[in-house]
A and B are shown apart, each in its own frame.
Chain A
């Protein structure tokens, strides 16, 4: 009887604490539903995915920080993340959205080299 005197507002708050997740479940469900072939998703499955995403964010941040040169500079940069995506197997699926940055100069140079190799194999061998 004591519990029922709480306002609905307070109930929502206490339930958020119990769930111990900070990302919005509704948004995660939306992303999940945007995946093709997915029709129905169990509420527990959405919750687990939300929690897993939080663990993933922590893991990616910590792994990149420990892996990169960030400890000396006390910072985490895009390059650290891209390096982690490339070097650690579990993060390999991120290489498409975390491409390593290269200078336009280097890119053009490698492009030129590739073209030369295509046009004339002997010349590029001399080069």
Chain B
């Protein structure tokens, strides 16, 4: 959970890079403007979440899903995002599947030979692991269900 207010900010370096890439080369973006855009992005996330949650609640669902987020974009009049978002989601889903298959292979391999070196590397990237693992688990669960159904 968010313990400090800074936890609800997005990383400035990444925001700055996205701004720089969007604007023509050599445009000077003031520090104040960068901070404001970063805050605006956080507010955007909250606004989108709240809109999406309304759609989920209307459908009597407890879990926000991709469709809710897309519906929220439409409601917020950001229709221009819909196409790129759908494309990105497709690529993401495809990638996720490959990664989960990859992880399973790695796990099998690790079981065969305890690889201490890779474990140390993993500990260094704890934050990344926190992002990746729930996905992998979800996928594994989904796949197990599929197998049972088949």
Contacts and interface: CB of A to CB of B under 8 A. Distances in A.
Main secondary structure of the interface of A (DSSP, over half): helix
Contact of B130 (A3, A26, A34, A56): A26
Contact of B89 (A48, A53, A56): A48
A119 interface: no
Contacts, number: 229
Contact of B19 (A4, A11, A47, A57): A57
B128 to A, nearest CB: 6
A42 B63 contact: yes
Interface of B: 1-2, 7-8, 10-11, 14-15, 17-19, 21-23, 26-30, 32-33, 36-37, 39-50, 52-53, 57, 62-66, 68-70, 73, 76-78, 80-81, 84-85, 88-89, 91-96, 98-99, 102-103, 105-106, 109, 118, 121-122, 125, 127-128, 130-132, 134-135, 138
Contacts of A4: 102, 105-106, 109
A39 B130 CA distance: 19
Interface of A: 3-4, 6-9, 11-12, 15, 18-28, 30-35, 37-45, 47-49, 51-62, 65, 70, 74-78, 80-82, 85, 89-90, 93-94, 97-98
